[in-house]
């Protein structure tokens, strides 16, 4: 299975600890292509045809990003708006994602305990990510369970190593 990982972190090489480690691990895997979207499009102008070609060459597409205010970094929303065109990704003629798996790999600053009905955020992480599952449904992709690295602020080296190991498994299963 060919997996495409689209990384959306505005400072992957500069400020990211978790997402940089995950992206680096993914780059070393066979049949996995990693695209650093902010590095490719620092001006925010996405090459729609190049992105569509990358998706078409994959069997699985994973959006990797840090969770920002219960959502994604801005470039990911721009990517969705520009790349997921009617007639290509959805609509009666849009079949680009049919037969493909679609998922997200997110990191949160807060620990998992905050993502519980009784936690500060009041929602489980799966509830926060429902818009992405809705996108998968709309484009006729097969939604796969999200990969989550909780508590990235202050994550221990051991916990990060475990997350990297689990991410490799997630991308290659």
Provide the 3-class DSSP secondary structure of residue 42: coil
pTM: 0.96
Instruction: State which residues form the domain around 18.
Output: 3-172
pLDDT at 13: 84
Q: What is the CATH number of the domain that holds 150?
A: 3.40.50.360
Report CA 64 to chain centroid distance, whole Å.
3
pLDDT digits (tens, 9 = 90+) for 32-91: 999 999 999 999 999 999 999 999 999 999 999 999 988 999 999 999 999 999 999 999
Q: What are phi and psi of 29, to 5 degrees?
A: -95, 145
pLDDT digits (tens, 9 = 90+) for 6-49: 999 998 887 889 999 999 999 999 999 999 999 999 999 999 99
Residue 89's closest CA among 102, 98, 101? 98
Question: Considering just the CA atoms, what is the radius of gyration of the chain in Å?
Answer: 16
- Averaged over 150-165, what is the pLDDT? 95
Task: Copy the structure tokens of residue 108.
Answer: 């949160």
Count of domains for the chain: 1
Question: 135 pLDDT band (50/70/90 cuts)?
Answer: very high
């Amino acid at each position: 299975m060919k997996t495409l990982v689209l990384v959306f972190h505005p400072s992957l090489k500069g400020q990211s600890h978790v997402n940089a480690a995950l992206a680096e691990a993914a780059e070393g895997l066979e049949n996995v292509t990693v695209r650093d979207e902010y590095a490719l499009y620092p001006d925010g102008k996405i090459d729609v045809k190049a992105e569509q070609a990358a998706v078409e060459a994959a069997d699985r597409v994973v959006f990797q990003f840090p969770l920002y205010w219960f959502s994604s970094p801005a470039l990911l929303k721009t990517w969705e708006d520009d790349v997921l065109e009617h007639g290509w990704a959805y609509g009666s003629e849009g079949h680009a994602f049919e037969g493909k798996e679609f998922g997200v790999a997110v990191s949160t600053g807060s620990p998992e305990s905050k993502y519980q009905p009784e936690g500060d955020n009041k929602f489980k992480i799966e509830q926060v990510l429902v818009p992405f599952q809705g996108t998968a449904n709309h484009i006729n992709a097969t939604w796969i369970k999200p990969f989550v690295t909780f508590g990235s602020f202050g994550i221990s080296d051991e916990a990060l190593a475990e997350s990297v190991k689990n991410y490799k498994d997630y991308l290659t299963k």
